[in-house]
Amino acid sequence: MTTTTDVRALLCDAATRLFSDHVTQKMLDAAKRDGWSAALWHELEQAELPLVGVPENAGGAGGTLSDTAAVLRIAARQAAPVPLAETILAGWLLSSAGLQVPRGPLTVGPVLDETLTTVKDGAGWRVSGALKRVPFARIAKQLVVLADSPSGLMVMAVDATHCNITPARNLASEPRDEVVLQNVVVLAAAPAGAGVTRDSLQARGTLMRAVQIGGALEHALDLACEYAKQRVQFGRKIAQFQAIQQELARCGGEVAAAVAATLSAAGVVERLAGNAGADAAHQSLLAVAAAKIRAADAARETVAIAHQVHGAIGVTDEYALHHVTLRALSWREEFGNEVYWSMKLGREMLTAGAGSFWPALSTA
Amino acid sequence: MVGRLTARLWTLRRMSLAIALALDPSSGKQGTVDLATEAALVKDMGTFYEREIVDAARVLVAVEPTLDATDTFERYLAECIVSAPVSTIRGGTTQVLRTLIARRLLGSLK
Q: In angstroms, what separates the C-alpha of B13 from chain A's closest C-alpha?
A: 8
- Superfamily of domain covering A198-363: Butyryl-CoA Dehydrogenase, subunit A, domain 3 (1.20.140.10)
What residue ranges do the domains of chain B occupy? Answer: 2-106
Q: Answer whether B106 sits within 8 Å of A225, measured CB to CB.
A: yes
Q: Is B60 on the interface with A (CB under 8 A)?
A: no
- Whether A341 sits inside 8 A of B3 (CB atoms) is yes
User: Cβ B6–A343 below 8 Å, yes or no?
Assistant: no
| Candidate CATH numbers 3.60.150.10, 3.40.50.300, 2.40.110.10, 1.10.3210.10; the one for domain A2-191 | 2.40.110.10
Determine phi and psi for A139, rounding to 5 degrees: -95, -35
Predicted local confidence at residue B29, as pLDDT: 55
B108 pLDDT band (50/70/90 cuts)?
confident
The rounded percent of chain A whose pLDDT value lies above 90 is: 87
Residue B32's pLDDT band, with cuts at 50, 70 and 90, is very low
Query: What is the pLDDT at residue B22?
Result: 74
Query: Residue type for B53, please?
Result: I
The residue of chain B with its CA nearest to that of A286 is B7
Distance of residue B65 Cα from the nearest chain A Cα, in angstroms: 22
Of A303 and A318, the one with more pLDDT: A303
| B39 to chain A, closest Cα gap in Å | 11
Residue A3: pLDDT over 80: no
Round to whole Å and give the CA distance between A55 and A100.
Answer: 10
Average pLDDT for A102-106: 96
Please name the residues in contact with A346: beta carbons below 8 A apart, sequence gap of 6 or more.
B1, B2, B3, B4, B6
- Domain boundary assignment for chain A: 2-191, 198-363
Q: Calculate the dihedral angle through the C-alpha atoms of B33, A20, A320, A214, rounding to the nearest 10 degrees.
A: -40
- Does the CB of B99 have a partner CB in chain A at under 8 Å? yes
Confidence class for position A1, pLDDT limits 50, 70, 90: very low
Residue A124 to residue A73: CA distance in whole angstroms: 38
Please state the ipTM of this predicted complex.
Answer: 0.90
Per-residue model confidence (pLDDT) at position A218: 96
| Chain A residue with the nearest C-alpha to that of B97 | A249
User: Which residue from A87, A95, A127, A132 is spatially nearest to A114, judged by alpha carbons?
Assistant: A132
Q: How far is A306 from chain B (nearest CA, A)?
A: 13
Q: Convert the pLDDT of each residue in A267-305 to its tens digit.
A: 999 999 888 888 899 999 999 999 999 999 999 999 999
> Which of A79-88, A211-220, A355-364 has the lowest average pLDDT?
A355-364
Q: Looking at residue A364, what is its pLDDT?
A: 57
Confidence of residue B27 (pLDDT cuts 50, 70, 90): low
Taking 50 as the threshold, does the pLDDT of residue A343 lie above it? yes
Q: Quick one: pLDDT at residue A200?
A: 94
Residue of B nearest to A342 (CA): B3
Contacts of B18 in chain A (CB under 8 A): 260, 264
Tens of pLDDT along A243-272? 999 999 999 999 999 999 999 999 999 999
Q: Which chain A residues touch B72 with a CB distance below 8 Å?
A: none
Q: Do B102 and A286 touch (CB under 8 A)?
A: no
pLDDT (tens digit, 9 = 90+) per residue, A196-239? 999 999 999 999 999 999 999 999 999 999 999 999 999 999 99
pLDDT in tens, A138-194: 999 999 999 999 889 999 999 999 999 999 999 999 999 999 999 999 999 999 999
Q: Which residue of B has its CA nearest to A254?
A: B45
Run of H or E residues at A264: helix A242-272
Q: Give the residue on B whose Cα is nearest the Cα of A346.
A: B3
Q: Which residues of B touch A291 (CB under 8 A)?
A: 7
The C-alpha atoms of residue A257 and residue A12 are separated, in whole angstroms, by 20
Chain B partners within 8 Å of A256 (Cβ): 15, 38, 41
Instruction: For A74, list phi and psi in degrees, rounded to 5.
Output: -70, -40
- Shortest CB distance from A345 goes to which of B3, B99, B103? B3
